[in-house]
Amino acid sequence: MKYSFQFPKICHVETRRWLFLLGVLAVTYVLFQSLLLPYGNALRSLLPQNEVQEQFKGSGVFSIHSSAESVMVRNPLTVHSSSDFIDVSMFSGVEKAAGNSGLGGEIGHDRGRKGKDVHKEIDLILEEKGIDNTFANTIHRNVDHNFPSENVVDTNGSLALVSIENQENGSVQDKANVAKYGFPLERIVLPNYETSTENTLKENSNLTAKKSDGVKTGFPSSPLILPAAASLANATNASVGSTSFKSDVVTSKNGSVVMTNPGRKKMKSELPPKSITSIYEMNHILVRHRASSRSLRPRWSSVRDQDILAVKSQIEHPPVAINDRELYAPLFRNVSMFKRSYELMERTLKIYIYKDGNKPIFHQPILKGLYASEGWFMKLMQGYKRFVVKDPRKAHLFYMPFSSRMLEYTLYVRNSHNRTNLRQFLKEYSEKIAAEYPYWNRTGGADHFLVACHDWAPYETRHHMERCMKALCNADVTGGFKIGRDVSFPETYVRSARNPLRDLGGKPPSQRQILAFYAGNMHGYLRPILLEYWKDKDPDMKIFGPMPPGVASKMNYIQHMKSSKYCICPKGYEVNSPRVVEAIFYECVPVIISDNFVPPFFEVLDWGAFSVILAERDIPNLKEILLSIPEEKYLQMQRGVRKVQKHFLWHAKPLKYDLFHMTLHSIWYNRVFQIKIR
């Protein structure tokens, strides 16, 4: 009995011990999991199929691949309501690796509007501080539904939090964080700079050069360069071009010459446009638009409409202003109309700026970098009270002050290849404007305007802002740009917000010994073809690929532009390029090679007076065409570049006829000629 009594007791003791041990293990497991929760599925990341790999490819591209579960950055851009600080998650080590990977930044800075280099993400934060990051870094600008692959870096546990006081633009709006927008800044992306060998140069045999009919009010002087006599198809059998290029050339059904790489899906940016609108056809479109406005009549008339109609007849019948000392007449389609329109704008125009929308997407300008143009316009528009009214009933135009760059930076989910949320965000904004104010509904948005420089802006504003006037850097007639309503907005790369005119000017014509110059990254399908034909082929043609990063390369690039007669401005992923304004900045005659690109301020400027516009198919004959330009004609164009320069400069305080006023005038001018009333 004694032993039988003790046996159950012993069993109870052992059971309690086991239960206690299991309880300790359970508590430990729960605590362990709760600690791991903020960092994602950490245990899964230990499995072989999710192992992080580092690859250093022959091209020098640094990439880190990880699973979808472990790719999220848990420290998005956070804007605190209690201070004027911007906290940004940055790499502590990746930037160094990327900088040493052999990535030559593009000194010409063609806005790689799309999968961003780490340096550019840092630049975005440093822009407003007057701190210069590497000049040569570039932004890869081709993120779309069929974009090139992006190299995504898992930043969990490897971020350094950097706080930079926002000195120039004041405090940042409260609550402009992840919770506000619902779209976290989840990744920092290193773009794949490996250039595809599938590059296309389209020969559109149906388009021939059309001579100007000489009507100055409707057509400018025809651009100097007409399509070359020899087609690209014939040129590929000539001595120009490398053997490797020729071996990949095939002729498509429509006569286009295509460099092929079987087995790889082509992106939109790697293909030439399906149709081409020549500069001559653009002139005809503008004239037709002036004769028959496409603007819808407002639902009800207003006193402001009558104001605009009253000045329209004065613009159409202006006093002669050929000898105006402030304006160089050959630069303009009709200098008298421009001068009269500008004077009436200064006297009449009133603009209401919507207060809706929080920073950073709204009301926060970026004054440096590739998309600085939209920031400078926003800053000057909001700070220059000459045209602004507080009472919207007194306004002729309504400005929606959002930054397309900050929209992309804040809302786009890296490597998602999906921009739907960006367009939806602006759709909801425009719907809010329409619901809270009566002015949008009166005209369907026709008297509203936006200014956007990011490549994605045409997509982001499609449909819901279709009737607005859009000042766009990506002025592509095949991408929805409406000549006569929309404004081609100059893309200017500003490197110093405190001194936007730094390094302005260049050598006189007699000291420009280089015939033509280009250097930059191989964005899009066109630039590789330019290099295939001209890189290291001719001492007079200084055509290079990416220049290495650093101050020395920056100065070398600038000196080449200051010493060249012609600066080649080929399209990148999109039709626009900051090189056009850079060439004007350094007094080098721009040679624009970009089919379907509407040049800036097209409605008032005669680009044939100070630039050369080439069809893409003329690349094989580039030197021949430039040499065929008489010296007298070159000197006239170079003088035109120096005279037009004042119209493409930003100033801390707006000056008459500067870039700010030219942009505002083109918006005003297009509105004057599209307005209708009952």
Q: What would the DSSP string read from start to end of 533-571?
A: HHTTT-TTEEE-SPPPSSHHHHHHHHHHHHTEEEEEEE-
C-alpha 627, offset from chain centre: 32
What pLDDT, on a 0 to 100 scale, did the predictor assign at position 463? 92
305 — pLDDT class (breaks 50, 70, 90): confident
326 — pLDDT class (breaks 50, 70, 90): very high
Contact 111, 494 (CB under 8 A): no
What pLDDT, on a 0 to 100 scale, did the predictor assign at position 30? 73
pLDDT greater at residue 394 or residue 69 = 394
pLDDT greater at residue 643 or residue 138 = 643
End-to-end Cα spacing for the chain: 113
Q: Does the structure show a pLDDT above 90 at 398?
A: yes
pLDDT tens digit string along 464-496?
999 999 999 999 999 999 999 999 999 998 988
β-sheet bridge partners, residue 609? none
Q: Does the structure show a pLDDT above 50 at 182?
A: no
**Distance between CA 505 and CA 515 in Å, rounded?**
18
Q: What is the pTM of this model?
A: 0.68
Q: Does the structure show a pLDDT above 80 at 459?
A: yes
Mean pLDDT of 297-320: 85
pLDDT greater at residue 300 or residue 171 = 300
Beta strands 53-56; 62-65: pairing state: antiparallel
pLDDT tens digit string along 61-99?
333 333 333 333 333 333 333 333 333 333 233 333 333
Mean pLDDT of 556-567: 96
What pLDDT, on a 0 to 100 scale, did the predictor assign at position 22? 85
Residue 271: count of CB within 10 angstroms of its CB: 16
Mean pLDDT over each residue of the chain, to the nearest integer: 73
Beta strands 249-251; 257-259: pairing state: antiparallel
Q: Does the structure show a pLDDT above 80 at 351?
A: yes
> Which own/partner contact pairs does 324-327 have at CB distance under 8 Å and 24+ positions apart?
326/656, 326/657, 327/657
Mean pLDDT of 517-539: 96
What pLDDT, on a 0 to 100 scale, did the predictor assign at position 339? 97
Weakest mean pLDDT among 172-186, 351-365, 443-457? 172-186
Q: Does the structure show a pLDDT above 70 at 523?
A: yes
Contact 156, 41 (CB under 8 A): no
What pLDDT, on a 0 to 100 scale, did the predictor assign at position 575? 97
pLDDT tens digit string along 235-280?
333 333 333 333 344 333 333 444 445 555 666 767 889 999 999 9
What pLDDT, on a 0 to 100 scale, did the predictor assign at position 179? 32
Contact 648, 537 (CB under 8 A): no
What pLDDT, on a 0 to 100 scale, did the predictor assign at position 571? 96
**Distance between CA 438 and CA 299 in Å, rounded?**
11
β-sheet bridge partners, residue 605? 332
3-class DSSP assignment, residue 517: strand
3-class DSSP assignment, residue 372: helix
What pLDDT, on a 0 to 100 scale, did the predictor assign at position 204? 38
3-class DSSP assignment, residue 340: helix
Mean pLDDT of 32-41: 50
What pLDDT, on a 0 to 100 scale, did the predictor assign at position 581? 97
Contact 475, 373 (CB under 8 A): no
pLDDT greater at residue 401 or residue 674 = 401
Identify the sign of the CA torsion 486, 488, 493, 498: negative
Reference 397, options 461, 471, 462; nearest CA is 471
pLDDT tens digit string along 219-246?
455 455 443 333 333 333 333 333 333 3
Q: What percent of the chain has pLDDT over 70?
A: 62
Most confident of 185-199, 320-334, 448-462: 448-462
What pLDDT, on a 0 to 100 scale, did the predictor assign at position 93? 34
For tokens 């590497």, what's the residue? Answer: 134
Strand order of the β-sheet with 257-259 is 200-201, 257-259, 249-251
What pLDDT, on a 0 to 100 scale, did the predictor assign at position 134? 33
What pLDDT, on a 0 to 100 scale, did the predictor assign at position 381? 97
What pLDDT, on a 0 to 100 scale, did the predictor assign at position 559? 95
pLDDT tens digit string along 606-633?
999 999 999 999 999 999 999 999 999 9
Q: Does the structure show a pLDDT above 60 at 411?
A: yes
Reference 402, options 432, 436, 378, 434; nearest CA is 378
Mean pLDDT of 365-394: 95
What pLDDT, on a 0 to 100 scale, did the predictor assign at position 183? 31
For tokens 């105006």, what's the residue? Answer: 324
